[in-house]
Structure 1
Amino acid sequence: MLEAKLSEAGTLKKLLDAIKELVTDANFECNEEGIVLQAMDNSHVALVSVKFAAPAFKRYRCDRPMPLGVNLTSLTKVLKCAKDDDICTLKAADEADVLNLVYEAKNSDRIAEYDMKLMDIDADTLNIPETEYDARVTLPSAEFTRIVRDLSQLGESVRIEVSKEGVRFASDGEAANGNVLLRQSDGSHITGSTIKPKTEADDEEEEEAEGSSRKKAKVKKEKNDDDVEMEDDDKDEDKEKEDEDEEDFQPKENEDGEEEKDDEGEEEDSGSKKRKKKANGTSKPSKKPKTSKSKGKATEDEDSSSVVIEMNQHVSLTFSLKYLVNFSKSASLSPKVQLMMSNDVPLLVAYDFNQGYIRYYLAPKIGDD
């Protein structure tokens, strides 16, 4: 028996919208590790691989491995009956010919239930070999979507070239030509390294490393700020600051009952107080923490819009824009996309999200084909 409960039906809807035009019928292979789909388009030019890991579900149970043969067009119609924030539960009995879908509304007591007929689809699961790529480009998925859509107005093919200059997308049409160059955002190109598709473990290690480095940088900056303040203050100013601090921290006590002071002490206090007000008017230490926070936010924004290029050697390949435009529909699932290329090897377009990943493999064009 299969029971898979997703916290939001919108994730499954976005996934099907991205692949329904490439694949008509496909098997969802269900096992204890999660749900996997692998299928090729009718022309056998592109392959799509999808994975929903078991921990991505609120509740997941699969007693034994079982395929669910589904017509993606029909499943898309059934999923349109659910709101994006509805809780979606997929149920199927052993050797069942029906897939049961239950939608639970979060803000009301509404529960909708649908049954969809399953199909017997004879499809062999393809073993995708682990490949070491010559180049990997990580860029914002929205930028990739814009590039392929713009260039698809000019021609049918795009040449993707990765070099020391950056990554260039070029399309030659009958009436016009166009190209877009994206340069490396942060530092020089990484060369001579082994480039493989990222796994979930790699993403977790990167997040931990980024978090620790940001914490260290913040602590170091705070210490440096303190050091600068200590170096700028003379001994006399330190003494005057202490006197001022005593007055600043006791405003109410002075109003309720003044302490007995000598006339000389009062004159010294009033003089130091005037000097302090002038000094405080020029220095603004209270704004330093705000500056560090704003820099941290700016760093996060730069990370989300950065372009990272890893390259072992120059790569230049030509692909069909029609397929790349279809691939770019997965931009709603992930803010970043990875393009992995090697000469004479299919292009890998990968979108990783919290619930798993979706990967597309596209064969390059050869000659004038």
Structure 2
Amino acid sequence: MLELRLVQGSLLKKVMEALKDLVTEANFDCSASGFSLQAMDSSHVALVALLLRAEGFEHYRCDRNMSMGMNLGNMSKMLRCAGNDDIITIKGDDGGDTVTFMFESPTQDKISDFEMKLMDIESEHLGIPEADYHAIVRMPAAEFTRICKDLSSIGDTVVISVTKEGVKFSTRGDIGTANVVLRQNITIDKPEEAIVIEMNEPVSLTFALRYMNSFTKASPLSSTVTISLSNELPVAVEYKIAEMGYIRFYLAPKIEEDEDETNV
């Protein structure tokens, strides 16, 4: 038996909006510690990991570990029927082939329930190794969204370089080149506007902007984003979800064909 009750139903709606264009179907894993998902996008280039800890729910009951295969587009359609202030309850039976979403208005004068068929989805759990990153950048999520959007009007890829000077986002395309440089700026009175750069060694990596723009759809969940970079490792782009967890995206760097692949 599974029963999860989330007072901030809008959180779940935002999570689905962040995921549904990247991942079409996935298994949600429920255990005593929380509600999680790990899935590759359809082209097997990007990986997403979601965690909503049990403590973040008003009521959380999961009698035994369960895996529920869902079509994220369909789940998103159902969640759009919930008001932003609604309380959302998710219910499922052990071995059942459906999941029920219940939406309650804050005044309790309207209760809707939607039942959705579950799917059998073959999926392998990919071990995400804990990595010591060469550089970690924390910055306002809205700023990262804006940079990715602006650069994608010029080129298809973004080079993210971290040096002691700051972090640089650059692109080149048929019409020209663009560079955006952010310097460390620790704003004490407005911590959400701070740009914090931790660097052990300089990093410069190239990524497809199409995916970066897709990741920024999670920015309504958090005012800040953390970008962790290391040479020869996928970038990790993380958005914290209130006090209850996170959504992390991983994307392998593009190897430039014309560059010498040995790190000089």
The reply to whether TM is greater than 0.5 is yes
- Structure 1 stretches of 4+ with a deviation exceeding 4 A read none
Match of 1:7? 7
Determine the structure 1 residue equivalent to 2:246: 357
Q: How does 1:313-328 map to 2 (within 5 A)?
A: 313-328=201-216
* 1:337 corresponding residue in structure 2: 225
CA–CA distance in structure 2, aligned partners of residues 108 and 62 of structure 1: 25
- Superposed, which structure 2 residues align to 1:56-205 within 5 Å? 56-186=56-186
Tell me the equivalent position of 1:306.
194
Structure 1 Cα separation of the partners of residues 32 and 108 of structure 2: 32
CA displacement at 1:368 relative to structure 2: 3.8
Distance 2:6 2:257 in 1: 46
Q: For each residue in 1:202-235, what CA deviation from the matched residue of structure 2 results, as whole angstroms up to 9, or x when unmatched?
A: xxxxxxxxxxxxxxxxxxxxxxxxxxxxxxxxxx
- Between structures 1 and 2, the one with greater helix share: 1
Q: Letter of the aligned partner of 2:80 in structure 1?
A: K
SS in 1 for 2:70: strand
- Measure, in 1, the Cα distance between the counterparts of 2:158 and 2:126: 27
Larger radius of gyration: 1
How far residue 42 of structure 1 moved from its aligned partner, in angstroms, is 1.7
Provide structure 1 residue ranges, at least 5 long, that are not aligned to the other structure. 187-297
Gaps of 5+ in 2: 259-264
SS of 1:352's equivalent in the other structure is: strand
Q: Which has the higher contact order (CA 8 A, sep 6+)?
A: 1
Q: State the TM-score, normalizing by the size of structure 2.
A: 0.95
Give the 3-state SS of the residue equivalent to 1:299 in structure 2. coil
Work out the CA distance in 1 between the residues paired with 2:25 and 2:188: 43
Residues 100-121 of structure 1: per-residue CA shift (max 9 Å, x gap): 0110001351100110000011
- The AA in structure 1 aligned to 2:189 is E
Task: Select the structure that is richer in strand.
Answer: 2
Q: How far apart are 1:55 and its partner, in Å? A: 0.5
Q: Match of 2:189, SS?
A: helix
Tell me whether 1:367 sits opposite 2:256 in the alignment.
yes
Does the residue aligned with 1:324 lie in a helix, a strand or coil? helix
- Aligned-pair RMSD on alpha carbons? 1.1
| 2-structure distance, mates of 1:304, 1:52 | 22
Instruction: Find the residue that maps to 1:17 and give its secondary structure.
Output: helix
- The offset of 1:126, in angstroms, is 1.4
Q: Could you state the TM-score of these two structures normalised by the residue count of structure 1?
A: 0.68
Q: Which residue of 1 aligns with 2:45?
A: 45
In the alignment, the residues of structure 1 paired with residue 96 and residue 181 of structure 2 have an alpha-carbon distance, to the nearest angstrom, of 52
